[in-house]
Amino acid sequence: MADRIRVLIVDDSALVRDALKSILESDGSIEVVGTAKNGLEGVEKALELKPSVITMDLKMPMMDGLEAVARIMEENPIPIVVVSSMDMKIIIQALTIGAMDFVPVAGDMNAIAADLISKVKIASKVKPIRRFKIHPPLPVRSFKRPERLKVIAIGVSTGGPQALQALLSHVPADFPGAILAVQHMSKGFIEGLVEWLKYTTKCEIKVASDGDRIKGSTIYMAPDDYHMEAGEDGKISLTQNADSAITHVPSIDVMMSSVAGIYGPDAVGVIMTGMGRDGVEGMKAIKKAGGQTIAQDEKTSIIFGMNRVAIECKCVDRIVPLEKIVDEIFDAMAKTG
């Protein structure tokens, strides 16, 4: 079938390659067009076979998966789904250098079947883009210390780790605002993401705890299984999901709406790469409250989904490429309040 999703499997274990092939081809819309036993062979076959999607192990001989991901995304961009039992920090590193998504392997391979098939199908619909380069540090900006705290509310999903690293690495250590961010991820990986982001982030960055005081020069990432909200007392409030209609926990909409309600014109909403529409209602709330709103553009988005819907709903003030978002945040902060 000409319209099948063509997949290349890269893994050093013959047993795993066979298991992944069996899982993927159990879905009639997927065809495994080749396998590779190490990263070097994977890079070569990616060029030769031109698959729709690559599944990539990370620990392999000759060339490991990290180097293979970097080579493919720089030279011959193809959507890559990491399938690995590696340490979460290594998986996060793969995401920051260009992998689109990941399927953590723990125990029985059959247990990952639905997740793997779903993520391969999503990846097949993505227009591959070359690996983002982390740009040199921006010129130091001088800030007039605001009378009131400005809060930046960021929502991001698929493609987020790499985009967040590129964005947050350019936020200066003396940034006067507070940043609240929701990243949709598989459970158990947010701590690893934060640890990885610490290597390139100048501000304090942490997984939020209930009762954390919201302060400048600090980035708060929403934890697993809890909605993160800004409270009237100037502190973070973590709540468990009480509304079955809310698909994502944590929810970008819940976080952004709380920021809009508390900080109003002192809020800046930023919606980035990701599938679905979580965050659109939150962006509407920030704009309605008098705050400023920014969306990542289509060209630099792994998936132009949440940001596309926000743009179509006319709740976005500026649409800019990833590398321009920090400058737009600075300018928006000067206009808020």
Distance, CA of 324 to CA of 297 (rounded, Å): 10
CA 217: distance to chain centroid? 21
The conformation of residue 206, written as its DSSP 8-state character, comes to: E
Asked whether the beta carbons of 268 and 286 are under 8 A apart, the reply is yes
Question: What ranges in the chain are assigned the alpha helix state H?
Answer: 14-25, 39-49, 65-75, 88-96, 113-124, 160-168, 190-197, 252-263, 280-288, 306-312, 325-335
Contacts 24+ apart (CB under 8 A), 28-33: 28/4, 29/3, 29/4, 29/5, 29/121, 30/4, 30/5, 30/117, 30/120, 30/121, 31/1, 31/4, 31/5, 31/6, 31/7, 32/7, 32/8, 33/6, 33/7, 33/8
Q: What is the pTM of this model?
A: 0.81
For helices 280-288 and 252-263, what crossing angle results, to 10°? 10
Tokens of 240: 């468990």
Question: In the prediction, which pLDDT does 130 show?
Answer: 65
Please report, for residues 10, 36, 275, the alpha-carbon distance to residue 64 in angstroms, rounded to integers and kept in the order given.
Answer: 10, 12, 29
Least Cα distance to 268 among 180, 139, 191, 197 occurs for: 180
CB-facing half-sphere around the CA of 321: CA atoms within 13 A: 5
The one-digit pLDDT tens for each residue of the chain (337 residues) are 458 999 999 999 999 999 999 999 999 999 999 999 999 999 999 999 999 999 999 999 999 999 999 999 988 899 999 999 877 788 888 888 889 889 988 767 777 899 999 999 988 988 776 665 545 445 545 555 667 899 999 999 988 888 998 899 999 999 999 999 999 988 888 988 898 888 889 999 999 999 999 999 999 999 999 999 999 999 999 998 766 677 889 999 999 999 999 999 999 999 999 989 999 999 999 999 999 999 999 999 988 999 999 999 999 999 999 999 999 999 998 876 5
Question: In the prediction, which pLDDT does 205 show?
Answer: 97
Q: Which residues are catalytic?
A: 157, 184, 278
